[in-house]
């Protein structure tokens, strides 16, 4: 049987990535850049939809891509209520929640399902999303906090984390992801660290809410009391603190830069503060890996490292030296989000996975409602 054709669409803050796959083979890949001034004219994220759609469509036509041959259009997904991992068909409810960013997180990824739907409608194909950032599979023990009525919700790099685990299971462990136990990390501009058991991410750190290690643009976990003192001394408001969690913390706050390569070059040149900052981030990553290993009761098949910073051999060596007593450490430098999106759709088309339906009901609400 001829391999399925899948077009993946991944909207970012200033770009939209597009790739065409036939089976596992990537036939075409391109990134469309968007000028900040062009995007500023739109009052809301969803208003960017026609502009991004037409820009991508023009690019694909110029490349000679025959969209009528595409079986599935897969969008990045976002803006959705907490959901289980997997591949979902794009529905009216999903589109409504994506347009309004129903979970309160405003990010261009929410345009992914909308773009996939637009193209699927125009060319008579299916539209799907695969493991969007809204995937939340925490076990009940990981959900509770010390404040009644306040429960943990996590946002992390679900797509890359799960695909790394799926591929490692198939290629290295030679058994299904659902039979493995991992600590999986995405180490890039944001850092996600998660515990995987029986095909689910049962615990992890909320990188949008300020949990986990510091990252190039994120402050990481900080004592509430210290943060309150910081707000008082610096006359900082809630929005300022939220920005520290995602955009103005980490390297940016300390050094005014977000580039890990530049930071390490400064350290090599003798900047002791830069070196301390770099080593402190890695130290915090190692602590979080240890915590996730404890979640799995020490029964860990592997510690998997993905993301752009994993190209740095010093980072990989430090983590390996500190954590290999737990389980073998394997590095997968970079990311394969586009490949992961295509692979999820193909698994559904070939009957390896079931296509899921988005309900808009928080997956975690039901387990705690009667407690």
What is the full DSSP assignment across 228-265? HHHHHHHT--HHHHHHHHHTSSHHHHHHS---HHHHHH
Q: What is the mean pLDDT of residues 282-306?
A: 98
DSSP state of 106: -
Residues of the chain above pLDDT 70, percent: 98
Per-residue pLDDT of 112-150, as tens digits, reads: 999 999 999 999 999 999 999 899 999 999 999 999 989
- pLDDT at position 1 is 67
pTM: 0.90
- pLDDT at position 365 is 59
Q: Bigger pLDDT: 301 or 43? A: 301
- pLDDT at position 12 is 85
Q: What is the mean pLDDT of residues 249-275?
A: 96
Q: Bigger pLDDT: 107 or 272? A: 272
Per-residue pLDDT of 60-104, as tens digits, reads: 999 999 999 999 999 999 999 999 999 999 999 999 999 999 988
What confidence category does residue 336 fall into, taking pLDDT thresholds of 50, 70 and 90? confident
- pLDDT at position 46 is 86
Buried b (16+ CB within 10 A) or exposed e, 35-56: eeeebeeeeebbebbeebbebb
Strands 329-333 and 302-307: parallel
- Radius of gyration over every alpha carbon of the chain, rounded to an integer in angstroms: 21
From first CA to last CA, the distance across the chain in angstroms is: 51
Question: What is the torsion angle, in degrees rounded to the nearest 10, for the CA atoms of residue 186, residue 192, residue 193 and residue 197?
Answer: -90
Q: Is the pLDDT of residue 369 over 50?
A: no
- pLDDT at position 368 is 52
Q: What is the mean pLDDT of residues 187-199?
A: 95
Mean pLDDT, rounded, of the chain: 94
* Least confident range of 11-20, 84-93, 287-296: 11-20
Q: Is the pLDDT of residue 13 over 80?
A: no
- Domains defined along the chain, listed by start: 5-135+338-368 (3.30.420.40), 140-335 (3.30.420.40)
Q: Is the pLDDT of residue 178 over 80?
A: yes
Decide: residue 144, CB within 10 A, 0-12 exposed, 13-18 middle, 19+ buried: middle
- pLDDT at position 366 is 47
How crowded is residue 283: how many other Cβ atoms within 10 Å of its Cβ? 16
Per-residue pLDDT of 29-55, as tens digits, reads: 999 888 877 888 888 888 999 999 999
Q: What is the mean pLDDT of residues 14-34?
A: 92
- pLDDT at position 229 is 97
Buried b (16+ CB within 10 A) or exposed e, 60-81: beeeebebeebbbbbbbbbbbb
Residue 336 to residue 368: CA distance in whole angstroms: 35
Residue 287 to residue 26: CA distance in whole angstroms: 37
């Amino acid at each position: 049987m001829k391999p399925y054709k899948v077009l993946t669409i991944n909207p970012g803050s200033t770009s939209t990535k597009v790739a065409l796959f036939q089976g596992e083979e990537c036939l075409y890949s391109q990134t469309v850049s968007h000028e900040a001034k062009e995007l500023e004219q739109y009052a809301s994220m969803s208003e960017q939809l026609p502009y991004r759609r037409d820009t991508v469509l023009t690019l694909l036509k110029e490349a000679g891509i025959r969209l009528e041959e595409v079986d599935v259009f897969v969008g990045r997904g976002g803006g959705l209520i907490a959901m289980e991992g997997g591949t979902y068909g794009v529905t009216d409810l999903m589109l409504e929640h994506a347009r309004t960013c129903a979970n309160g997180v405003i990010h261009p990824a929410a345009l992914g399902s909308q773009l996939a739907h637009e193209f699927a409608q125009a060319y008579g194909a299916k539209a799907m999303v695969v493991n969007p950032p809204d995937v939340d599979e925490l076990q009940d023990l990981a959900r509770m906090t010390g404040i009644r009525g306040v429960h943990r919700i996590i946002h992390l790099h679900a797509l890359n984390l799960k695909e790394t685990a799926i591929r490692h299971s198939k290629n290295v462990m030679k058994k299904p992801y659902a039979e493995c136990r991992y600590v999986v990390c995405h180490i890039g501009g944001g850092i996600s660290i998660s515990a995987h058991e029986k095909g689910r991410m049962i615990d992890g750190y909320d990188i949008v809410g300020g949990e986990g290690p510091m990252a190039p643009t994120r402050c990481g976990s900080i004592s509430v009391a210290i943060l309150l003192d910081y707000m008082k001394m610096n006359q900082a408001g809630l929005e300022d603190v939220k920005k520290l969690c995602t955009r103005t913390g980490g390297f940016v706050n300390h050094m005014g830069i977000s580039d890990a390569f530049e930071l390490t070059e400064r350290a090599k040149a003798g900047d002791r503060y830069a070196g301390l900052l770099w080593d402190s981030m890695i130290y915090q990553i190692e602590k979080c890996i240890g915590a996730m290993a404890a979640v799995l009761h020490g029964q860990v098949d592997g510690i998997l490292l993905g993301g752009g910073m994993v190209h740095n051999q010093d980072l990989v060596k430090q983590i390996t030296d500190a954590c290999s007593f737990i389980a073998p450490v394997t590095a997968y430098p970079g990311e394969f989000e586009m490949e992961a999106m295509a692979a999820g759709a193909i698994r559904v088309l070939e009957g390896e996975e079931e296509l899921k339906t988005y309900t808009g009901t928080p997956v975690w609400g039901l387990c705690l409602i009667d407690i």
